[in-house]
């Protein structure tokens, strides 16, 4: 997916992508059988694996702390988690300090107003197409994808394109594609 051209340099500086969970990596719907079951998009998981190949770190920062979130994060070998945290600005600052990164090396993707402090603590903010309108007015990157439909993949793809790494990371799957962006 394309990213806004005016964000190229800022996206190229990103070393960690931090995501809210409900409404971003899921569609925000809870239930469907188990008490806290969520529907995850496999495109996000594959995008996270591609990110790991080139050293882009992935983190979760959510107000919820449930076993299914932890299980998904562990299965995908995500780098950091801050779960059960409503103080998302502080949580993002902790992540950056732990990884010795600056705010301009982070992008935070959220879908609702309580994500705004986390977005402000990171150097870049993104939101799914179906995020709260007030949030969409305040983020750097309005994504084309709705929550739970591959938001993580869109962010990862944009960052890796801006860093000039997208084509090389997908080359083993494409085969006949020229390497380099």
Q: How do residues 124-166 score in pLDDT, each as one tens digit?
A: 999 999 999 999 999 999 999 999 999 999 999 999 999 999 9
The model's pTM:
0.93
What is the reported pLDDT for 53? 96
The CA distance from 22 to 64, in Å, is 8
pLDDT of residue 28: 83
Note the pLDDT of residue 52: 95
| pLDDT for 178 beyond 60 | no
The conformation of residue 104, written as its DSSP 8-state character, comes to: G
Q: Distance of CA 155 to CAs 31, 56, 130, Å?
A: 27, 11, 15
- Looking at residue 39, its pLDDT comes to 83
Please answer whether residues 51 and 160 qualify as being in contact, where contact means their C-beta atoms are separated by less than 8 angstroms. yes
Query: 88 - beta bridge partners?
Result: none
- 25-39 residue pLDDT tens: 998 887 655 555 688
Distance of alpha carbon 44 from its chain centroid, rounded?
A: 9
Q: Which domains does the chain have, with CATH numbers?
A: 5-172 (3.40.50.1000)
The pLDDT of residue 2? 76
pLDDT band at 113 (very low <50, low <70, confident <90, very high): very high
Q: In sequence order, what are the residues at sequence separation of 6 or more whose Cβ sits closer than 8 angstroms to the Cβ of residue 80?
A: 16, 18, 57, 59, 60, 95, 98, 99
pLDDT at 32: 59
Give 53-111 pLDDT, tens digit per residue. 999 999 999 999 989 999 999 999 999 999 999 999 999 999 999 999 999 999 999 99
Looking at residue 38, its pLDDT comes to: 81
The tokens describing 54, both together, are 């080139």
Longest Cα–Cα distance of the chain, Å, equals 47
């Amino acid at each position: 997916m394309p990213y806004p051209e005016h964000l190229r340099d800022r996206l190229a500086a990103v070393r960690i992508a931090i995501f809210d969970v409900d409404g971003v990596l899921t569609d925000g719907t809870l239930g469907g059988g188990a008490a806290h079951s969520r529907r995850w998009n496999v495109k996000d998981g594959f995008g996270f694996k591609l990110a790991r190949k080139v050293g882009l770190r992935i983190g979760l920062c959510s107000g919820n702390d449930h076993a299914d979130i932890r299980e998904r994060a562990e299965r995908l070998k995500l780098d950091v988690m801050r779960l059960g945290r409503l103080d998302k600005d502080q949580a993002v600052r902790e992540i950056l300090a732990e990884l010795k990164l600056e705010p301009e090396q982070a992008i935070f993707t959220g879908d609702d107003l309580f994500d705004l402090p986390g977005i402000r603590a990171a150097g870049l903010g993104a939101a799914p197409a179906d995020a709260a309108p007030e949030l969409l007015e305040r983020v750097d990157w309005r994504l084309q994808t709705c929550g739970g439909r591959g938001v993580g993949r869109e962010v990862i793809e944009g960052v890796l394109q801006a860093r000039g790494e997208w084509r090389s990371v997908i080359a083993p799957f494409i085969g006949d594609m020229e390497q380099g962006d």
